[in-house]
Amino acid sequence: MIPRERLMETARRVYRRYGFVPIDTPALEYLEVLTGKGSDETDRQMYHFTDNGGRAVGMRFDLTVPLARFSAQHINELGTPFKRYHIGAVWRGETPQAGRFREFVQCDFDTIGTTGVVSDIETALVIHELLQEIGIERFKLRINNRQLLTGLLEALGLGNQATIVLRALDKIDKLGAKAVEKELSEAGILEPQIAQILQFASIRGNPDAVLEQLASQLRGNQRAEEGLDRLNVVQKALVAAGVPQERFAIDVSIARGLDYYTGIIFETMLGDLPEIGSVCSGGRYDNLAELFTKQHLPGIGASLGLDRLLAALEKLGKISAQAAPASVFIALFAAERTSDYFELAALVRRNGFSCEVYPDAKKLGAQLKYADQRGFPVALIAGSRELDAGMVQVKDLRNKTSTEVQWRSNPDEFIGALRTMLTMERGDLFA
């Protein structure tokens, strides 16, 4: 739970930095709100039932559809653009496996009420900053635009079969090109059309080279050219904002399996564990809210899959073993000097450090064993003699080094020594 809490705190901090505000929506929605909004697969996986009042209800399968309903209901009070984040559990009745769970937490952020490319750029920047702030160095933000795929399919005469093609293409990473080819063939797509779709999806290279190749292939298709123009703007803005080119790619093979996407789409893969799938995905959905209101309420956002990311980090051995939320452990030597220990603890906390005072005056070995088991990086040790002199031993429990400092008459020296020792500790998920 400590790594989970830290990850959620990091997400909240990054989202607020960009101006997103928190909301919450019910776990249960009327079934008609949820069905037909994601895909055939999400409809099949949805947990739904008739409640005691005879109402057909379902448990939310993501946080985006409830947001669209929420926005349609309250947008006159909220105004636009409305930028929200939401961290909550969702449910899908699928077979549990690596990175996939029946109940899992999503950390979403979305902007409602604007079609501007600025929101596309900002969504990509938030994803990048979030992964970076969590402490992940090797990841790739893959970016595409549904308008390119839709324009290509229209040019191939497959506009009315776009949903089938996009759902098949979404499986290309997991199943491979041969399996996608077979699925498209079984759906009645002709072999030359399949060849062009797969050739299009195989375009690779640095962003500039990919965009140049796409421009030559899609010239004359208005819808595709609009999507390509937006990708160009996004790509230039990411470079201008300092996002390293090795951290993002224009990848026309990603399609996203949910039907409501209309424009730019995102998937984020871990460089050290790509097989876990995307840990942060999303895109633009300009028509979703219109299922609940006559107002045009375009939206864009992304979702960090908290449980999938934690499973990946655990597999990579990057989850901290610390089982205590506090960084500083204060041993209790002399029960009659309890007030001194709490005076010391108050000084530590006033200076921004978390600490825990051991509740019983047991032998020091037993207390330090407790501190070691819970992963405290630093312990403060002082008996009656040290307390009389206003001294305390600051002990690094990781490398077993220590220094003795004056904390009453020279609190700045004490806090400085404590801060120096704690600089070795990472404040994120990693050991």
Residue pLDDT, tens place only, 309-348: 998 998 888 887 667 788 999 999 999 999 999 999 999 9
Domains and CATH numbers, the chain: 2-315 (3.30.930.10), 328-422 (3.40.50.800)
Angle in degrees, CA 213, 203, 285, rounded to 5: 90
pLDDT exceeds 60 at position 135: yes
pLDDT at 200: 86
pLDDT at 335: 92
pLDDT at 82: 96
**Mean of pLDDT over the chain:** 91
Q: Are 234 and 141 in contact (CB under 8 A)?
A: no
Q: Is the peptide bond before 81 cis (omega within 30 degrees of 0)?
A: yes
Cα(170)–Cα(212) distance, rounded to whole angstroms?
23
Cα(321)–Cα(372) distance, rounded to whole angstroms?
10
Start-to-end C-alpha separation, the chain: 15
Q: Confidence band (pLDDT; 50, 70, 90) for 241? A: very high
**Strand, helix or coil for residue 316:** coil
pLDDT exceeds 70 at position 424: no
Cα(65)–Cα(287) distance, rounded to whole angstroms?
11
Please report the sign of the dihedral spanned by the C-alpha atoms of residue 133, residue 136, residue 140, residue 143.
Answer: negative
Q: Number of C-alpha atoms within 13 angstroms, CB side, residue 45?
A: 20
Among residues of the chain, what percentage have pLDDT more than 70? 97
* pTM of structure: 0.84
Conformational region of residue 298, where left means phi above 0, alpha means psi within -120 to 50, and beta covers everything else: beta
pLDDT at 430: 40
Question: What backbone phi and psi angles, to 5 degrees, belong to 80?
Answer: -125, 150
Q: Which range among 34-43, 221-230, 250-259 has the greatest average pLDDT? A: 221-230
Side chain identity, residue 198: L
pLDDT at 322: 66
Conformational region of residue 228, where left means phi above 0, alpha means psi within -120 to 50, and beta covers everything else: alpha
Question: What backbone phi and psi angles, to 5 degrees, belong to 256?
Answer: 65, 130
* Strand partners for 110: 84, 301
Question: What backbone phi and psi angles, to 5 degrees, belong to 226?
Answer: -60, -45
Which alpha helices (DSSP H) does 302-422 contain, by range? Answer: 306-315, 338-350, 364-373, 384-389, 411-422
Q: Confidence band (pLDDT; 50, 70, 90) for 426? A: very low
| Exposed/middle/buried for residue 164 (C-beta within 10 Å: 0-12, 13-18, 19+) | middle
* Strand partners for 89: 105
Cα(331)–Cα(51) distance, rounded to whole angstroms?
54
